[in-house]
Amino acid sequence: MRLIIMGPPGAGKGTQATALAARINGAHISTGDIFRANVAEETELGTLAKQYMDAGEYVPDEVTNAMVKDRLSQPDALTAFLLDGYPRTLDQVHTLDAMLADLGSQLDGVVALTVDSEELIARLLKRAQTSGRTDDTEDVIRHRQEVYVSETAPLLDVYRERGILFEVDGMGSIEDIEARVAAALPA
């Protein structure tokens, strides 16, 4: 199965993504994790990405698209994958469409976690106390929500129109949400 998981910052996307990737026995491709690994290793890509991440901005599409293209073409991602944090812009949606067409494959579904915005900010501020992530300060957290609403939320309509959007209530315990995600998946 080839899936995308989406949700605003703080929706619990990363937590659910790990479980979901295991469930579908697919490669878990998290653009945020790949960027953070590059930052930690001080690669050229990491140095570039860090400036955007620290400001709560998206890394430019051409950089992100090239990175995902490379990752998606690796053998472990051929039959099953979960994209976590990608696509985040309409440009990325179109690039992903082209990549999958080249690979002769297509998406089976898009899981979208929904959480109300006050809860999101509260969760992120709590995480900020322990995560050590330099993009977890209050101003940056609020900015990332705005960027999500303007850049990424419109993608939900695109996938809804394609009939492959599965919206899942992201409020509640990790286990409850996991069960809802599993129930929402296409057969």
Q: Could you give the dihedral angle defined by the CA atoms of residues 173, 21, 124 and 66, in that order, rounded to the nearest 10 degrees?
A: -160
Q: Is 106 exposed, middle or buried (0-12, 13-18, 19+ CB in 10 A)?
A: exposed
Which of 36, 133, 142, 160 is an active site residue? 133
CB of 88 to ligand ADP, least distance (A): 4
- How many CA atoms within 13 Å lie on the side-chain side of 13? 28
Is position 162 annotated as part of the catalytic site?
A: no
Within 103-132, the residues that bind ligand ADP by CB under 6 A are: none
CB of 187 to ligand ADP, least distance (A): 28
Q: By the 8 A CB rule, do 81 and 3 touch?
A: yes
Is position 2 annotated as part of the catalytic site?
A: no
Nearer to ligand ADP among residue 40 and residue 187 (C-beta): 40
- Under the criterion CB under 6 A, does residue 58 sit at the interface with ligand ADP? yes
Q: By the 8 A CB rule, do 109 and 186 touch?
A: yes
Which of 2, 71, 144, 180 is an active site residue? 144
Which of 69, 127, 142, 160 is an active site residue? 127
- Under the criterion CB under 6 A, does residue 17 sit at the interface with ligand ADP? no
Is position 13 annotated as part of the catalytic site?
A: yes
Q: Nearest to residue 56, comparing CAs of 127, 118, 136, 117?
A: 136
* Rounded Cα distance, 97 and 99, in Å: 6
Which of 2, 13, 50, 71 is an active site residue? 13
Is position 88 annotated as part of the catalytic site?
A: yes
* Contacting positions for ligand ADP (CB under 6 A): 9, 13, 31-32, 35, 52-53, 56-59, 64, 85-86, 88, 92, 135, 144
Catalytic residues: 13, 88, 127, 133, 144
